[in-house]
Each structure stands twice: as structure tokens, then as C-alpha cells.
Amino acid sequence: MTHTSPLTTDPESPAQPDRRRLCKALLTVPLLVSVAPITTLASLAPERKLSFYHTHTGEELSLTYHKNGSYIPAALEQINHYLRDFRCDEVHQIDPKLMDILHDLQQAAGNPNGTFEVISGYRSPETNGKLRQKSNGVAKKSLHMQGMAIDIRLDGTSTKKVRDLGMQLKRGGVGFYASSDFVHLDTGRVRHW
């Protein structure tokens, strides 16, 4: 009687693992690692940086808004001012989670130094009302009025890819405006249009 070790190369041995199944299982590990972190990239970054170009005002802003586990209050104030309603110069607090969504989008797009082109940040109720009169694409209770929404493009990344990545994040609303070539992102409930 011969004794076979579980590590034998005998293909008939019941203890021999199926190499193909093992290889397939191992190949899925990097896929899971590369997909799963998209929702948590911001929490892993030691510093969170963003760069903006405002399409209406021509203003630029590059800054680190989060470092050592905390938001930087002075940086958030700069963001609040930068994303103000430029039509009436009204400033409103911007939800920092919106910045985290932008940061994670940048990372997921493989464009960590890309500049966000801002079409719209905060909108006052008056501005929102005027825009609603001109377009049926402006919501009556828009999250722009609460500092929870932004309309953007990401330089060097197609708006379709930005839309797709935003939807994968599942951290708020994602609107795609193909004719105007921009993406709406917000920190409201998860939905898309």
C-alpha cells in the first residue's frame, strides 16, 4: 500500500486542489481590491488636494482641504468662497463630503492631478428661480441651494467616465448633461439621471 501526500502531483489524488479553480480565484482578488476601494479612497489619503477652474469667472483654486485625519477649516472657507453664487456674490457653506466625492473621482479616474472645471457650485434661491425660468432642467428644490451640489467636468477625463465613476461611488446624485458636456454631483440620496 502506498501513501500519497496531499501535495503530490498525482492528478487522480482527491486531496489535490483544482489548479484552474485556484488560479481563477486568485485572479479575482486584484479585481476586488481595485473595485472595492473606490468608495473609501478619501478616507485612506493622508492629504486630500483639489484643483479648480471656474468656467464663468476664470478663477483658479488649488489647495489641500484635508490633512492628518481632519478637514482644514481655512481651506473649507476658501472653497465656500470659491464656489459662491458668482451672479450675486453670495457665499454659502459647501458640504465637505462633496469635496471627498470629487477627490475619490479624481483618484478612480487615474487623474489625481486633474483640474475640475466648475460650471455651478452654490446657487442662491433667487438665482435658482431665475435659472428655472430659463430651463426645465433646474430643480425647484435644487441641492445647489444647500451647498450640496456641483456641476463639473474633469480636465483630461471624459464626462461619460466621470458620470460612470460617480454612479459607482453610490454616494449621492449623479446627473449627466451630454449636450452641455458636464456632470452634476451631489451629496443627497443616491440616484441618477
CATH number at residue 148: 3.30.1380.10
156 is a domain residue: yes
117 burial level (CB within 10 Å; 0-12, 13-18, 19+): middle
| Residue 187 pLDDT | 98
* 90 assigned to some structural domain: yes
Query: How much is the pLDDT for 20?
Result: 56
What is the predicted pLDDT for the residue at 15?
47
**58, 60, 59, 40: which is closest to 50 by C-alpha?**
60
Q: What is the pLDDT along the chain (193 residues), one digit of tens a residue?
A: 544 444 444 444 444 455 555 445 555 444 433 444 454 555 677 899 999 999 999 999 999 999 999 999 999 999 999 999 999 999 999 999 999 999 999 999 999 999 999 999 999 999 999 998 988 778 889 999 999 999 999 999 999 999 999 999 999 999 999 999 999 999 999 999 9
The reported pLDDT for the residue numbered 13 is 45
In a domain, 5, yes or no: no
Distance CA 50, CA 93 (A): 17
If one counts every other C-beta atom within 10 angstroms of the C-beta of residue 166, the result is 26
Answer yes or no: is 10 within a domain: no
The number of domains in the chain is 1
d(C-alpha 164, C-alpha 170), whole Å: 10
Closest residue by Cα to residue 117 from 155, 170, 64, 163: 155
Do 165 and 159 form a contact (C-beta atoms < 8 A)?
no
What pLDDT score does 137 carry?
79
Asked if residue 66 lies in contact with residue 51, where contact means CB atoms within 8 angstroms, the answer is no
Candidates 165, 163, 167; CA nearest to 178 is: 163
Residue 28 counted as domain residue: no
Residue range(s) defining the domain that contains residue 185: 48-192
> Between 159-169 and 96-108, two packed helices, what is the crossing angle to 10 degrees?
120
Q: What is the pLDDT of residue 173?
A: 98
Residue at 159 is within a domain: yes
CA–CA gap between residue 131 and residue 125 (Å, rounded): 10
Residues 6+ apart with CB under 8 A from 139: 132
Q: What is the pLDDT of residue 30?
A: 44
Residue 96 resides in a domain: yes
